[in-house]
Amino acid sequence: MEPTLSILVVDDHPAMGSTLYDILEDLGYRVTIARTGHAAIEQCLAREFDVVLMDVRMPDLNGVETYQRIKTIAAETQIIMMSADVEDVVKQNAYSILKKPLDIDNLLSMLDRIQQQRQHHSSFMGKPGGEQ
């Protein structure tokens, strides 16, 4: 299955954002980078993303606050929180939490599951009588 998800990577560390961008773009995902929480919110106001990979600890607006604001803008967007300290995000209703350093295989499995869910939902909604 060819990846079709649009992904926003939000991380204030340029090396982490660039690495994720390179890996995900090479696999066929459409990737955008934001270095701050405010930039992430601006990106989500400008266009729709299927997935947001969100660092928790950022200097301007932390990942939890950014998560909460993005969910009011784009409730259907799946947000995967990334943190060295999982306790930072346990209380949030994120799609999942990835512990840093990231296990890329685990991340790719999550993205594959999200893509399958979206394709299943799209095909269900496209069938006569599939609307709820």
Mean pLDDT, rounded, for 80-104:
76
Mean pLDDT, rounded, for 56-72:
91
Domains and CATH numbers, the chain: 6-126 (3.40.50.2300)
CA separation (Å) from 76 to 21, 49, 60, 70, 129?
22, 9, 25, 10, 22
Residue 129: band (very low, low, confident or very high) from pLDDT cuts 50, 70, 90: very low
Residue 124: band (very low, low, confident or very high) from pLDDT cuts 50, 70, 90: low
pTM: 0.85
Residue 99: band (very low, low, confident or very high) from pLDDT cuts 50, 70, 90: confident
Report, in angstroms and rounded to the nearest whole number, the Rg of the chain calculated over CA atoms.
15
- Residue 46: its H or E element: helix 37-46
Range with top average pLDDT, 69-78, 93-102, 119-128: 69-78
* Non-local CB neighbours of 81 within 8 Å, separated by 6+ positions: 54, 56, 63, 64, 67, 88, 89, 92, 94, 96, 97, 98
What per-residue confidence (pLDDT) applies to 71? 93
What is the C-alpha to C-alpha distance for residues 100 and 98, in angstroms, rounded to an integer?
6
pLDDT digits (tens, 9 = 90+) for 4-45: 899 999 999 999 999 999 999 999 999 999 999 999 999 999
